[in-house]
Amino acid sequence: MLPKNIPPAYFRPHRPHNCRRAGFHNYKAPGYYMITFNKGENIPDFSYLAGDIRSSENPPAAILTEIGELINSKIADIDRMPEFEIPNYVIMPDHIHLLWRVKKWLPRDLGHYVAYLKAQSTALWHERLGTDPDISLFTPKFNDKISFSDQMTERFSSYISDNPRRRLTVMTNPELFNRAHRVRILDKEMDFYGNFLLLKHPIIAAAVVSSRYTEEERTRYEFAWEEAIRTQGVLISPFISEKEKTLMRRGIESGASIIRIVPDGIGPKYKPSGQEFDLCAQGRSLHIGPPRQSAHIDPLSRSHCLSLNALAHWIASHPTERMTLLRNPRLPE
């Protein structure tokens, strides 16, 4: 057993921090990216959240602090550059998401310009507030997600716009993250345990391994798995085969999140065990499955496995139709 002050090896803070670049991609190329970087340690919040998650007249929003306003002005400077456009962004209390468009080929990698934005924001902070010049507003490096289609660009933009609502949902409904609730997917009601907002993540890949894939299908799915792992996205699967379990372990070790489709269903006292319980507590895991009232478990048939795999593929490929959250049938009105 590890000492109490040492986290397990698979622990990752639930915040975007994976900074590996995609080796297959030229970051000087035109395109759309979702760029994320985080507030430095002991730096005051960039914003605070206000609004009501149930109100259309007062929707959730990030209200900028003085530091947030300074950063906002530097984002506007980037947006005015001829090489770039920032069509959407949000300055959250402890991190920033930008939908960053590169309009034409760059003389240097995009990372140079992200570093420039961070440096300019920090310099303005020092100038205006007389802070210690050796302290940066931000943690080192940044996370990028590359758009490969118009649909993915729209998905990134929606994710950015929805950030304040998602954060307020977590803050105002913490019970959703440690008790089983019910969701409707397609025409099926299913129970879930963990972070249901993972179903709204912009990058979800079906981690289903099959010998029946064509070469084209295998290439496409492997690319989706690797991109989800690289960007700390989400892998969804029943994770039955050894190859799928290996893929899941690699994703967890790299900071990705997991949606497990539970073949036996989820009973009233269901809880994930071991590592996946800790991942749920971090907001990095969701278990979904049909409601189960009985302790009896039917043998796992091939047809049932195929139906679970099909559900994983459907959820991964239908970002706007993934779920309807229902009232918890086990709690009073």
Summarised one tens digit per residue, pLDDT across range 142-151 is 999 999 999 9
Q: Is the pLDDT of residue 329 over 60?
A: no
Q: Which of 94, 87, 139 is nearest to 114 (CA)?
A: 139
- List beta partners, residue 89: 98
Q: How far apart are CA 204 and CA 233, in angstroms?
A: 6
Q: How far apart are CA 222 and CA 167, in angstroms?
A: 31
| Mean pLDDT, rounded, for 37-53 | 95
Answer for the pair 238, 260: CB distance below 8 angstroms, yes or no: yes
Residues whose CB falls within 8 Å of the CB of residue 180, separated by 6 or more in sequence, listed in order? 191, 192, 193, 266, 268, 270, 328, 330
The DSSP output letter for 15 is S
| Mean pLDDT, rounded, for 10-16 | 39
List the end-to-end C-alpha distance of the chain, in Å, as a whole number.
42
Q: Output the pLDDT for position 330.
A: 45
Q: Output the pLDDT for position 169.
A: 85
| Burial (CB count <10 Å: 0-12, 13-18, 19+), residue 251 | buried
- List beta partners, residue 97: 36, 90
Answer for the pair 102, 84: CB distance below 8 angstroms, yes or no: yes
Q: Which residue has the tokens 């913490």?
A: 174
Q: Output the pLDDT for position 26.
A: 96
Q: pLDDT for 158-179, tens place per residue?
A: 999 999 998 888 888 776 666 6
% of residues, the chain, pLDDT over 90: 63
The Cβ of residue 205 has, within 10 Å, a number of other Cβ atoms equal to 26
Q: Which tokens go with 221?
A: 């799915």
Q: pLDDT for 210-242, tens place per residue?
A: 999 999 999 999 999 999 999 999 999 999 999
Helices (H), the chain: 66-79, 110-129, 150-161, 163-172, 215-230, 242-253, 274-281, 302-317
The DSSP output letter for 322 is S
Q: Output the pLDDT for position 201.
A: 92
Q: Which tokens go with 257?
A: 């999140």
| Helices 163-172 and 150-161, packing angle to 10 deg | 50
Q: Is the pLDDT of residue 332 over 80?
A: no
The Cβ of residue 26 has, within 10 Å, a number of other Cβ atoms equal to 12
Q: Output the pLDDT for position 147.
A: 96
Q: If pLDDT is split at 50, 70 and 90, which confidence band does 91 have?
A: very high
Q: How far apart are CA 191 and CA 268, in angstroms?
A: 9
Q: What is the mean pLDDT of the chain?
A: 88
Residues whose CB falls within 8 Å of the CB of residue 65, separated by 6 or more in sequence, listed in order? 44, 45, 46, 47, 48
Q: How far apart are CA 101 and CA 72, in angstroms?
A: 17
* Residue 192 vs residue 19, higher pLDDT: 192
Q: What's the one-letter identity of residue 258? A: I
Instruction: Give me the phi and psi of 50, to 5 degrees please.
Output: -140, 170
Q: Output the pLDDT for position 296.
A: 63
